[in-house]
Amino acid sequence: MNTHREVKSVWRQVSSVSGDYRLRSLEFVLGEKTTKTHYKEHGCIYKTDLKKAYFSPRLSYERLRIAKLVQMGEVVVNMFAGVGCYSMSIAKHSKPKKVYSIDVNPSAFQYLQENIRLNRAEKTVIPLQGDAKAMTENKLQNIADRVIMPLPELAYEYLDCALLALKPQGGWIHYYNFEYANKNENPVHKTEAKVLEKLRLLCTECNVYFGRIVRPIGPRWYQVVLDIHVQN
């Protein structure tokens, strides 16, 4: 804190991320006893509470990568928006028509709304509170050119909802997953095989155009992303 004067509070993570809201337990170390903070990234500013909403600065590169893939006039559905990092990055760095941003966590949704105002994205980013499955089935069928699924714990289970959100001609799914891989295994290839097996039962044609390890999360465990093109 003496070296980095902008740091006002230090907390130690004492549990893994868990639960429906992807929260972690934190232990106070030094400074102001608050978990509320501001974070700046690629020209965007985010308010969040680290005890009440999931947030990771380690996904900074991935958020900008996805934003730069979005084409002018596209409709995007962010199925697990959190406080809005992917959505705000897309609004800032591309020219989408709309970015529908869903989250079930009331605290995350509150910060999502606030971050939309902070980043002046009211005309582009549409916040929706609730479960992604219910929101897709009731409000967002057949509207999206692109669906983002940045919740590895639930992405596989919600693949059918992602297809439901895409326009009838198809579109893109950005799929995130946690994958275990032995020394002689490729976690990207393992994820691809599992996902394509399920998707090919649900749609006419789908292909993985890009995949990469986003980050290691434990011994032989990895977070993986696949960019999948679907033609229904």
Do residues 99 and 90 lie in contact, with contact meaning Cβ atoms separated by under 8 Å? yes
Q: Looking at the domain assignment, is residue 202 inside a domain?
A: yes
Mean pLDDT of the region 159-165: 96
Residue 184 has pLDDT above 80, yes or no: yes
For residues 219 and 109, membership in a common domain is answered with yes
Residue 218 CA neighbour count, 13 Å, CB half:
6
Q: Looking at the domain assignment, is residue 137 inside a domain?
A: yes
Residues 11-68: tens digit of each pLDDT = 999 998 888 888 999 999 999 999 999 999 999 999 999 999 999 999 999 999 999 9
Which of 48, 54, 44, 47 has the alpha carbon at shortest distance from 15? 54
Q: Name residue 26's beta-bridge partners.
A: 13
Q: Which helix (H) or strand (E) holds 67?
A: helix 60-69
Q: Which helix (H) or strand (E) holds 196?
A: helix 187-199
For residues 30 and 68, membership in a common domain is answered with no
Q: Looking at the domain assignment, is residue 138 inside a domain?
A: yes
The pLDDT of residue 17 is: 86
Residue 175: how many other CB atoms lie within 10 Å? 26
The pLDDT of residue 153 is: 92
The pLDDT of residue 21 is: 86
- Placement of tokens 């989250």 in the chain: 103
Q: Looking at the domain assignment, is residue 2 inside a domain?
A: no
The pLDDT of residue 203 is: 84
Number of structural domains the chain divides into:
2
For residues 153 and 187, membership in a common domain is answered with yes
The pLDDT of residue 37 is: 94
For residues 156 and 213, membership in a common domain is answered with yes
For residues 82 and 141, membership in a common domain is answered with yes
The gap from C-alpha 162 to its chain's centroid, in whole angstroms, comes to 13
Do residues 188 and 142 lie in contact, with contact meaning Cβ atoms separated by under 8 Å? no
Residue 44: how many other CB atoms lie within 10 Å? 22
The pLDDT of residue 18 is: 83
For residues 186 and 226, membership in a common domain is answered with yes
Q: Looking at the domain assignment, is residue 3 inside a domain?
A: no
Do residues 187 and 149 lie in contact, with contact meaning Cβ atoms separated by under 8 Å? no
For residues 170 and 206, membership in a common domain is answered with yes
What's the rounded Cα separation, in Å, for the pair 2 and 12? Answer: 18
Residues 120-133: tens digit of each pLDDT = 999 999 999 999 99
For residues 70 and 43, membership in a common domain is answered with no
For residues 31 and 93, membership in a common domain is answered with no
Q: Looking at the domain assignment, is residue 157 inside a domain?
A: yes
Which range of residues forms the domain containing residue 15? 9-49
Q: Which helix (H) or strand (E) holds 138?
A: helix 132-139
For residues 16 and 97, membership in a common domain is answered with no
Residues 65-119: tens digit of each pLDDT = 999 999 999 999 999 999 999 999 999 999 999 999 999 999 999 999 999 999 9
* CATH code of the domain containing 208: 3.40.50.150
Length of the chain: 232
Confidence of residue 164 (pLDDT cuts 50, 70, 90): very high
For residues 90 and 180, membership in a common domain is answered with yes
SS3 at position 177:
strand
What's the rounded Cα separation, in Å, for the pair 189 and 222? Answer: 12
The pLDDT of residue 27 is: 96
Q: Looking at the domain assignment, is residue 4 inside a domain?
A: no
Q: Looking at the domain assignment, is residue 1 inside a domain?
A: no
Residues 189-219: tens digit of each pLDDT = 999 999 999 999 988 799 999 999 999 999 9
For residues 36 and 89, membership in a common domain is answered with no
The pLDDT of residue 133 is: 95
